[in-house]
Amino acid sequence: MLDIPRALNPMDIALAATRMYSTLPVVGKHLEPFAGLTAMALYGGHYAPAALKAAISRRAGTGAEVQVPVEAPGEDVEAINGSLVPPFLRSRAQKRRYLDRGSVRYGDHPSQLLDVWRRPDLPPDAPVLLFVPGGAWVQGTRVLQGHTLLAHLVRKGWVCLTMDYRVSPVHRWPRHVADVNAAIAWARANVDRFGGDRNFVAIAGCSAGGHLATLAGLTPGDERFRGELTDDADTSVDAVVGIYGRYDWEDRSTTSRKNFQGFLERVVVGRKQSRHPEVFEAASPMARIHADAPPTLLIDGEHDAIIPVQEARDFHAALGAVSRNPVRYCEVPRAGHAFDLVDTSHARRCATEVSKFLTSVHAARDRQHTAAAV
């Protein structure tokens, strides 16, 4: 049961209205995206001053210099170099070139769709990446997001899946992560139909998608996040990539953090943290760290003002201190939040780092299998 506030304010009324019209017969499912846009508009003002300040700082070339150098040998040099083609057109061209199958169902709900990206000449048993788009848990669309990363990995011989999932305020937590787990289970059971290796499935996500990808990677088998999946469905992943993700769902130490927790309470979860702390703890990757966490790469922008970059640094330090598997961190200089939405040098730098990390994890897995077979 949802917590009902004692006195509804205009935000509560607006959100209730969006949930109501999204349930209308026939047209309701087409109106769901507007419910998410309404929620983003209501809460976006909390982040506008910080985002504007970060944008000015990037333009002026100021800011912290904490970063991890990026090496780009061989053909990856071209991936980072600039281009005269506008970013939006490059993104559309990437999809036209590498999309193999669109709107594949990974579940019974109309929102449970994914696209398959692959090369037509791909040999069987290619490694697989599932990409989870962001959107503050109120938008979860595969349109535009991650295209530079997907195209780069497809050129390297990967099968890539990019998914839609159910979002708030129409669908409450943990519906989002349950859909991510359903997509992982689908990949484990079906991706060989598209030339993918069911025994190597990595996951990556941006922003809210980074939270969902990381949480799913840390919590395979958690009954709270399985949704309609059967007990034998495999939701484990072989590697995790979090890109400017939100990793802490409990901290209320600053005004910004309190505003974020209020957004989760009213829009995403529908419960107050003070009454249901266990819900927020279970959903927080920072609280779910353990020694058997999959190999993990965290990438963030130096000037991220939406999710302060310190959160990624703290999560990297905490996970690295516990996990028995590799934990890496890369900070993209002068990049802000959502730096990969179009095909810019920041997005290509990110794709290069992800490719290097996942290739190393996949190679290590192959070495282990070879050694075990001898």
Annotated catalytic residues are 207, 304, 337
Structure tokens at 10: 């205009």
Residue 17: how many CB atoms within 10 A of its CB?
12
User: Would you say residue 88 lies in a domain?
Assistant: yes
> pLDDT: is 171 or 2 the higher one?
171
Q: Is residue 351 part of a domain?
A: yes
Buried b (16+ CB within 10 A) or exposed e, 89-125: ebbeebbeebbbeeebebbebebbbbbbbbbeebeee
**Highest-confidence segment of 7-11, 22-26, 308-312:** 308-312
Q: Is residue 284 part of a domain?
A: yes
Q: Which of 172, 349, 334 is nearest to 267 (CA)?
A: 172
- With cut-offs at 50, 70 and 90, classify the pLDDT of residue 128: very high
Is 2 contained in some domain? Answer: no
| Residue-number span of the structural domain to which 356 is assigned | 10-373
Whether residue 5 is contained in a domain is answered as no
Contact of 295 with 263, CB cutoff 8 Å: no
Both tokens assigned to 124: 């069987």
- The pLDDT confidence band at residue 142, using thresholds 50, 70 and 90, is confident
Could you list the beta-strand ranges (E) of 46-138.
99-105, 113-117, 126-132
Answer yes or no: is 293 within a domain.
Answer: yes
> How far apart are alpha carbons 153 and 148 in whole angstroms?
9
Question: Does residue 333 sit within a domain?
Answer: yes
> What percent of the chain shows pLDDT beyond 70?
75
Q: What is the pLDDT of residue 316?
A: 98
3 located within any domain: no
CATH code assigned at 257: 3.40.50.1820
Total domains in the fold of the chain: 1
Contacts of 281 (CB under 8 A, 6+ apart): 249, 250, 287
pLDDT averaged over every residue in the chain: 84
